[in-house]
Amino acid sequence: MRLIRAKLAKSTGRPDDAVIGAVALLTIADSLQSDPTTAASHFDALSSMLALRGGYESFATLAVLQRVIAWFV
């Protein structure tokens, strides 16, 4: 979490692929561990980051990341 926060703090308002992937995986892990509060928090962050990047469709050239994100779209 510290690394994700540090990377977000250095960003120029547009989160990079690594941060989006990390938050998506955290959301999946929280969902699988039945931690709905934390999963919802990560999902909200993921949704905001996707919006900043132009939505799910903007990841069409990044097949693996798009598949991970697809769990939530």
Q: What is the pLDDT of residues 32-64, one digit of tens each?
A: 998 999 999 999 999 998 999 888 888 878 888
**What is the pLDDT at residue 43?**
92
Summary mean pLDDT of the chain: 87
C-alpha 9, offset from chain centre: 15
pLDDT reported for residue 73: 63
Give yes or no for a contact between 49 and 7, defined as CB atoms under 8 angstroms apart.
Answer: no
- Nearest CA to 46 out of 31, 32, 26, 64 is that of 26
**Contact assessment for residue 37 and residue 67, using Cβ atoms and an 8 Å cutoff:** no
Q: What is the pLDDT of residue 41?
A: 94
